[in-house]
């Protein structure tokens, strides 16, 4: 049975009149009558009683009308739902975050903009190390990832730089250099550097170590911290010093101070990464939001 038979019948049953139903459907009356007759023959029972003025439903027609309306409603909802998903207006977006990227105001701003524009899309966040994020992106376990550069280049992904941040030195309270606004890393060469394991973020780990070498010393690695965020707490506990992106100053940790670094080369970039040949509208909508010109965070 063709879906148009149901629409034709529902229109006639609602209007109780062939001519008015035909006008509503935008077709002429004779073909509409013929379609209803075909429908009745297919069902094997009359659905309408033809009256001098209009029609009325038979008992079979009343039952069929209720079911036809339900089917048409479900069909229309299914069509609209499919169109909405195709436009990226509903569904799910799985978002991966490298450690600390969620503290960057611009990242939060982009997520708010996406939620405001696509409120029916469910955002599913996860936080992982850089290698795990890129592997998850490769295996399609996540859809996009906010990562920190430098990171390994790959032709498999497209990466868009969102913002560049300075790195800051974090010192414990009452440190001899706590009143210095700018610190040369060489002044810390005899102290222990608290840093995350290299596998958490190989590119940034290497950039931090290289900055120490540029300052003229090989750093003494102290207690490892699982992530950059936890390193701040370890500095507060007196385990040494650490280097973090500027956005982590949002963490109002007690007993630490933040300082500029006398090294213009030590910076970190936050990047949005997605699969190069991605076709999902939910993903491309996020990409399009990042391509606008948001105000500076």
What's the CA gap between 118 and 285, in Å, rounded? 9
Above 60 in pLDDT, residue 297?
no
pLDDT for 227 equals: 85
CA dihedral 173, 184, 106, 196 (to 10 degrees): -70
Report pLDDT digits (tens) over 83-98: 878 888 889 999 999 9
The burial class, CB within 10 Å (0-12 / 13-18 / 19+), for 227 is: middle
Can you tell me the distance from the alpha carbon of 134 to that of 273, in angstroms, rounded to the nearest whole number? 9
Q: Is the CB of residue 15 less than 8 Å from the CB of residue 24?
A: yes
Instruction: Please give the average per-residue pLDDT across 284-296, as a whole number.
Output: 79
Report phi then psi at 157, rounded to 5. -120, 155
- 40 is written with which tokens? 């009745």
Q: Which domains does the chain have, with CATH numbers?
A: 3-87 (1.10.10.10), 91-296 (3.40.190.290)
d(CA 220, CA 238): 15
Q: What are phi and psi of 293, to 5 degrees?
A: -110, 80
Q: How confident is the model over 243-254, as pLDDT tens digits? A: 999 999 988 888
Element (H, E) at 10: helix 3-15
Reply yes or no on whether the pLDDT at 44 is more than 90.
yes
Of the candidate ranges 79-88, 195-204, 222-231, 273-282, the one whose mean pLDDT is the lowest: 79-88
Count CB-CB contacts under 10 A for residue 216: 10
- As a whole number of angstroms, the longest Cα–Cα distance in the chain is 104
Helical H segments across 28-151, by residue range = 29-43, 59-86, 105-117, 130-138
User: Could you give the C-alpha distances from 79 to 10, 76, 200, in angstroms and in order?
Assistant: 18, 5, 44
Token look-up 């280097």 returns 243
Q: Which residues contact 203 (CB under 8 A, 6 or more apart)?
A: 130, 148, 149, 150, 151, 152
pTM above 0.85, yes or no: no
* Average pLDDT value for residue range 163-180: 95
pLDDT tens digit sequence for 223-235:
899 888 899 999 9
Position 192 pLDDT exceeds 70: yes
pLDDT band at 195 (very low <50, low <70, confident <90, very high): very high
CB atoms < 10 A from the CB of 259, how many? 18
């Amino acid at each position: 049975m063709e879906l148009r038979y149901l629409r034709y019948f529902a229109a006639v049953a609602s209007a109780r009149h062939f001519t008015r139903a035909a006008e509503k459907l935008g077709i002429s009356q004779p073909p509409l009558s013929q379609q209803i007759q075909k429908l009745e023959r297919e069902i094997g029972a009359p659905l309408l009683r033809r009256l001098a003025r209009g029609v009325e439903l038979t008992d079979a027609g009343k039952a069929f009308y209720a079911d036809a309306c339900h089917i048409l409603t479900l069909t229309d909802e299914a069509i609209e739902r499919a169109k909405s998903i195709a436009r990226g207006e509903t569904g799910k977006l799985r978002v991966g975050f490298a450690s600390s990227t969620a503290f960057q105001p611009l990242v939060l701003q982009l997520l708010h903009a996406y939620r405001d524009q696509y409120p029916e899309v469910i955002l599913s966040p996860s936080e992982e190390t850089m290698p795990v994020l890129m592997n998850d992106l490769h295996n399609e376990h996540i859809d996009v990832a906010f990562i920190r550069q430098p990171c390994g280049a790959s032709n498999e992904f497209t990466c868009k730089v969102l913002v560049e941040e300075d790195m800051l030195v974090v010192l414990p309270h009452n440190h001899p250099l706590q009143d210095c606004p700018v610190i040369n890393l060489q002044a810390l060469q005899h102290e222990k550097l608290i840093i995350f394991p290299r596998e958490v973020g190989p590119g940034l780990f290497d950039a931090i170590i290289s900055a120490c070498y540029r300052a003229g010393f090989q750093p003494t690695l102290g207690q490892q911290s699982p992530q950059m965020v936890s390193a701040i707490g370890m500095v507060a506990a007196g385990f040494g010093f650490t280097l973090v992106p500027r956005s982590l100053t949002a963490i109002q940790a007690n007993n630490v101070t933040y300082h500029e670094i006398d090294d213009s080369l030590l910076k970190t970039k936050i990047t949005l990464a997605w699969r190069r040949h991605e076709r999902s509208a939910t993903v491309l909508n996020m990409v399009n939001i990042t391509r606008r010109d948001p105000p500076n965070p």
